Amino acid sequence: MGWRLEALRQLASYAAAALLAFALPLHLLEHAPPPLRQPPRPWLLWLILVAAAIHGSQGVRQVLYDYLHGDTGRRLAEAASLLFFAAVAAVGAYGLAKTLP
């Protein structure tokens, strides 16, 4: 695995974390008690889905890399990370596409 790809993944994870720090408090306001409650924003839910899938899959991969070593371990970590990203993105996108206008 080239170091450039590793660096790109880490930067993507940082960018996704920064987006989540902005988007999650806004999402929380959609569920706040009535005086503070905001109407649902479709773009916000899509943003959270993409950012959380990127940040979560990179986080799962980092944790697994600390415990799984060698070629087989690294391949397992890559597969688990990819599976997490694909499953969350696919099921979440399906749910959002069905519910949002």
Q: Residue 53 is which amino acid?
A: A
Residue 34 or 71: the one with the smaller Cβ distance to another protein is 34
Instruction: Find how far residue 9's CA is from the centre of its chain.
Output: 12
Tell me how far, at minimum, the Cβ of 9 lies from another protein, in Å: 13
- What whole-number distance in Å separates Cα of residue 10 and Cα of residue 84? 17
Tell me how far, at minimum, the Cβ of 94 lies from another protein, in Å: 5
- What whole-number distance in Å separates Cα of residue 88 and Cα of residue 45? 13
Site residues (vs another protein, CB under 8 A): 11, 14, 17-18, 20-21, 24, 32-33, 49, 52, 56, 59-60, 63, 84, 87-88, 90-95, 98-99
Tell me how far, at minimum, the Cβ of 33 lies from another protein, in Å: 6
Continuous segment of H or E residues that includes residue 79: helix 70-99
